[in-house]
Amino acid sequence: MPEPDRIQDFLRRLTPLARNNLLTELERLEACGSALPGCATVVEKLRTEFRKDGQPHRLDNPARYFFAPLEPLLVDGAPEHTNSGRILRGSLSPIWEWISRNLLPTMARDFVNEMNRQIATDNQREAGRVVNTFQTKVVKSLEGTLNVPDSAALARTKLAIYTASHAAYDDVTKMLSVLRARDALAKLGDALPAKIGKFDDAQVTKILALLDGVRKTNAETVPFALALVATRLKTPWQLIRLATKVAPSKNVADVAATPYAAVVSMVLDRLEDSGSALRIALKNNRVLVAKEILTEIYDAEYALRVRIDRFDESDWGKRLQILMSVICALVEAEVSRFPDNIDHVLASRSLRSHQSLAGRLTHLAWKGRDAVSDGAAYWKKLISA
């Protein structure tokens, strides 16, 4: 049997629900750069069946309203690149299917019908009330489901019908935390600058005050609050300043003991995602994009190692070493494709800006400022003793 006929026969044997779930899963893999080889034909056939415009799946309007509190925390990536403050965008569709078909099917249907009416009349105030009511119902249902081992296990099984991603269940638990704290996170979002270009001491102090307020009222919200701050930073690695600022010293053990130590893992997670983006850019011969990504990677690597003392001796440092080994292998594989007499842009020393004179002076400035800050903190502590 010819290959196209075999594919068609395979798809015909599946139920419409199974075919729709298969399409959603293939699109999720495609979005995070993990598309299966040879699946393009299957995706094309399934989109013809389920997508009138042939475009990748997007959540309908009621679902997008429901997930709105999660929007600033969503990331595109592979399931293994997750942390406590981020939710995978690819998890939303299977979670919505599970809510609609298994968790609260009748309430979800009523919610969709009511939201469609409010959206059609552009009644945003009433739409907001409807969304808030349904979110509260989902929170109560999830609390009852996830706190009972048998119910939680059944939820895992049902979710597996809609996705093979092992992150989906964890993302459900994160969604619960975010929906519980949606008002506090919205208040924090309004208080933060739209874009933080210069994350200096004054700015760090202001944001730490906001984060302290969140931590005192709801500690489980802190990872999401940190992730929200990260979305506003022009230079993402500077997120680590939230931990180094409150640590008694820049020693890695002191940084790890702060309430905001999770920011270091968040920066490392972003580096992992950047490594994946670099792989995709190189695969598609987008060398200039790869150059930009690689520059950001080198800058973040350098900052972690010089802003936190004895970083390489920590678990964070070991993880960074593994990440950079993978990234270096990608770069070496790309550069080796060209003759030795041709200078490849990714092999340029200029990508590592810290190796330049300006970079070394910046390093000295960092160390000098850190020494002054540490000394001032010590002197203040000594006086107050």
Taking only the tens place, the pLDDT of each residue in 225-241 is 999 999 999 999 999 99
Q: Which residues are bridge partners to 196 per DSSP?
A: 233
List Cα–Cα distances, 107 to 159, 160, 243, in angstroms.
18, 22, 43
Question: Encoding tokens for residue 354?
Answer: 């810290």
Residue 9 C-beta-side C-alpha neighbours within 13 Å: 6
Specify the amino acid at residue 227: A
Strands 74-75 and 87-88: parallel
pLDDT at position 89, please?
87
Question: Across all residues in the chain, what is the average pLDDT?
Answer: 83
Q: How many other β-carbons are positioned within 10 Å of the β-carbon of residue 166?
A: 13
Taking CA atoms, 15 is separated from 10, 21, 22, 52, 90, in Å, by: 11, 10, 10, 19, 22
| pLDDT-derived band at 165, boundaries 50, 70, 90 | confident
Q: Which of 327, 334, 338 is nearest to 300 (CA)?
A: 327
- How far is it between the farthest Cα atoms of the chain? 85
Tens-digit pLDDT profile for residues 93-131: 899 999 999 999 999 999 999 999 999 999 999 999 999
CA–CA gap between residue 144 and residue 152 (Å, rounded): 9
Query: d(Cα 89, Cα 93) in Å, to the nearest integer?
Result: 8
Tens of pLDDT, residue by residue over 203-217, are: 999 999 999 999 998
Tokens of 230: 């990260």
357 pLDDT above the threshold of 50: no
Q: What pLDDT, in 10s, does the model give residues 255-296? A: 999 999 999 999 999 998 899 889 888 888 888 898 999 999
Q: How confident is the model at residue 385 (pLDDT cuts 50, 70, 90)?
A: very low
Contacts of 136 (CB under 8 A, 6+ apart): none
Structure tokens at 194: 């739209």
Tokens of 261: 């130590």
**CA-wise closest residue to 164 among 360, 18, 322, 300:** 18
Task: Detail the DSSP E strand segments found in the chain.
Answer: 74-75, 87-88
Burial class from Cβ neighbours inside 10 Å (0-12, 13-18, 19+) for residue 211 reads buried
Domain ranges of the chain: 3-50, 61-180, 235-384
Give the lowest-confidence range in 92-101, 294-303, 329-338.
329-338
CA atoms within 13 A of residue 257's CA, in its CB half-sphere: 8
pLDDT of residue 377: 47
What is the rounded CA–CA span in Å between residue 210 and residue 208?
5
- Taken as a whole, the chain contains a residue count of 385
Look up tokens 């905001």; give the residue. Answer: 260
Q: What's the confidence (pLDDT) of residue 1?
A: 47
Of residues 133 and 15, the one with the higher pLDDT is 133
For tokens 């729709």, the residue is: 20
Q: What three-state secondary structure class fits 233?
A: strand
pLDDT-derived band at 383 (thresholds 50, 70, 90) equals very low
Out of 38-52, 286-300, 329-343, the most confident range is 286-300
In this predicted structure, what is the pLDDT of residue 378? 40
- Mean pLDDT confidence for 11-21: 70
| Under 8 Å between Cβ of 24 and 96 | no
